[in-house]
């Protein structure tokens, strides 16, 4: 286990606010959009969720690293967050089953972070001012130099990122002789989605983000299509909207999660927009208005579908609403076998209330 003397580090926000703390992870500089996750557990799954690509993640939970890092608790092949901000960065860990410390993990993967920050004050600030870019450094102390670097970081609004995290080669997941064949459009898919499919008798074939509908049909002739979660702005992904439109035109069973939900809306002429602050945590209440049933959900998104446009649409029907802010959490396409949710039924980490959606998808394929 590595112990080290904590060097000073600085966090600068786009609006000029500065927080001082201690270096965590690799000594260096990193930038991206700052966002916060209120989950009390599951930091490793959050670090490796491709939907966080390009984002600096603030953990509101006071302890990060305390139960160590376990090789198998990952949602993708590597750490995807651009950087970490936390209160207590715990290098010694308490869990026997863990394989290494957070510090070894971050150093191996070149992840820069800052700890000993008053994360309550920081989150209250972001909550009032809205999403913005930020930079962390444990090597540059000159604020003007950091300001100049931060000015070069692109805004998340309008950024296409899925092609940076998607697989470059197709691969399969599950048993080849399973009863259902699902083509997964990998826009940044989380492993637990594939595990949930496998548990339900699905043989999945995962395709690079820009694969066309025709190519998938020819290669795999799937029973259904899955449009994955992923990073970036859905409005900057016309290629994926086109694929979704073609799946709909062919009336294939289709399920979308998070980014997949936003793309299903766009394919039905419903616009998306950047949220003032995203939803990121494990306890977001959602109501399924079809069966009048409430779910506590895991969420991670910074864009949303425009509620007025969903309500005015004659193509889709609302299935789920958020009980905190009335945002649209689920839709289904009228007369088609296609539906989607804004939240994460695979919930890794998170409550398992919404796993039934995977069964709903299986039923559509029957």
- How many residues contact ligand GLN, by CB under 6 A? 11
x/- binding map, residues 230-249, to ligand GLN, per CB under 6 A?
xxx-----------------
166 binds ligand GLN (CB under 6 A): no
Q: Which is nearest to 226 in space by CA: 320, 318, 341? A: 341
Helices (H), the chain: 43-47, 102-108, 119-129, 143-151, 162-165, 191-199, 213-220, 238-249, 259-267, 307-312, 356-365
The residues, any chain, with a CB within 8 Å of residue 147's CB and separated by 6 or more, are 12, 16
Using the rule CB under 6 A, which residue among 89, 173, 303, 361 binds ligand GLN? 303
For ligand GLN, give the closer residue by CB, 49 or 116. Answer: 49
What is the x/- site pattern for ligand GLN, positions 46-85, by CB under 6 A?
Answer: -----x----------------------------------
Closer residue to ligand GLN (CB): 102 or 258: 258
Going across the sheet that includes 316-322, the strands are 171-173, 202-208, 180-186, 224-227, 254-257, 338-341, 328-333, 316-322, 272-288, 293-305
Q: Which residues are catalytic?
A: 258, 344, 346
> Smaller CB distance to ligand GLN: residue 127 or 334?
127
Q: Compute φ and ψ for 230, nearest 5 degrees.
A: 170, 170
x/- site string to ligand GLN, residues 249 to 288, per CB under 6 A?
---------xx-----------------------------
Q: Which stretch binds ligand GLN (CB under 6 A): 90-98, 201-209, 219-227, 297-305?
A: 297-305
Residue closer to ligand GLN (CB basis): 66 or 347: 347
**Which CB, 281 or 302, lies closer to ligand GLN?**
302
CB of 200 to ligand GLN, least distance (A): 21
Q: Which is nearer to ligand GLN, 244 or 258 (CB)?
A: 258
137 in Cβ contact with 146 (< 8 Å) = yes
Q: Is 330 annotated as a binding residue?
A: no
- Cα(77)–Cα(136) distance, rounded to whole angstroms? 24
Out of 68, 83, 302, 330, the only residue in the binding site for ligand GLN (CB under 6 A) is 302
Binding mask 129-158 for ligand GLN (x = CB under 6 A): ------------------------------
Nearest to 6 by CA among 21, 18, 23: 23
DSSP code per residue over 130-162: -SEEEEEESS---HHHHHHHHHTSPPSTT-B-H
Pick one of 192, 268, 300, 354: the residue that binds ligand GLN (CB under 6 A): 300
3-state helix, strand, coil in the chain (%, to 5): 25, 35, 40
Cross-strand pairs, 322: 286
- Minimum distance, C-beta of residue 190 to ligand GLN, in the bound complex (Å): 8
Q: How far is CA 223 from CA 1, 181, 339, 352, in A?
A: 48, 5, 15, 25
Residues tagged in the binding site annotation for L-glutamine:
51, 230, 232, 259, 262, 300, 302-303
Q: Contact positions toward ligand GLN, by CB under 6 A?
A: 51, 229-232, 258-259, 300-303
């Amino acid at each position: 286990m590595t112990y080290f003397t904590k060097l000073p580090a600085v966090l600068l926000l786009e609006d000029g606010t500065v927080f001082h703390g201690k270096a965590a992870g690799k000594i260096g500089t990193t930038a991206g959009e700052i966002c916060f996750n209120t989950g009390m557990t599951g930091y490793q799954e959050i670090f490796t969720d491709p939907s966080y690509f390009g984002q600096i993640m603030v953990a509101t939970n006071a302890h990060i690293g305390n139960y160590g890092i376990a090789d198998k608790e990952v949602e993708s092949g590597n750490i995807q967050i651009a950087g970490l901000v936390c209160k207590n960065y715990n290098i010694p860990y308490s869990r026997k089953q863990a394989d290494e410390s957070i510090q070894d993990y971050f150093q191996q993967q070149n992840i820069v972070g800052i700890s000993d920050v008053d994360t309550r004050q920081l989150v209250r600030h972001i909550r009032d001012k809205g999403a913005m870019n930020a930079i962390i450094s444990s090597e540059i102390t000159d604020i003007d130099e950091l300001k100049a670097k931060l000015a070069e970081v692109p805004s998340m609004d309008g950024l296409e990122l899925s092609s940076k995290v998607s697989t470059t080669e197709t691969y399969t997941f599950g048993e080849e002789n399973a009863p259902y064949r699902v083509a997964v459009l990998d826009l940044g898919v989380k492993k637990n989605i594939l595990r949930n499919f496998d548990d339900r008798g699905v043989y999945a074939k995962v395709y690079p983000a820009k694969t066309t509908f025709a190519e998938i049909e020819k290669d795999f002739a799937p029973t259904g299509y899955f449009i994955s979660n992923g990073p970036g702005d859905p409005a900057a992904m016309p290629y994926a909207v086109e694929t979704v439109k073609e799946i709909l035109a062919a009336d294939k069973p289709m399920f979308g999660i998070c980014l997949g939900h936003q793309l299903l809306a766009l394919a039905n002429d419903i616009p998306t927009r950047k949220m003032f602050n995203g939803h990121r945590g494990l306890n977001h209440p959602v109501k399924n208005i079809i069966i009048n049933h409430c779910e506590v959900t895991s969420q991670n998104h910074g864009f949303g579908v425009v509620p007025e446009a969903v309500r005015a649409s004659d193509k889709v029907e609302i299935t789920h609403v958020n009980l905190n802010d009335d945002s649209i959490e689920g839709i289904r396409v009228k007369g088609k076998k296609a539906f989607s949710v804004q939240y994460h039924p695979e919930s890794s980490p998170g409550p398992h209330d919404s796993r039934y959606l995977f069964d709903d998808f299986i039923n559509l394929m029957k």
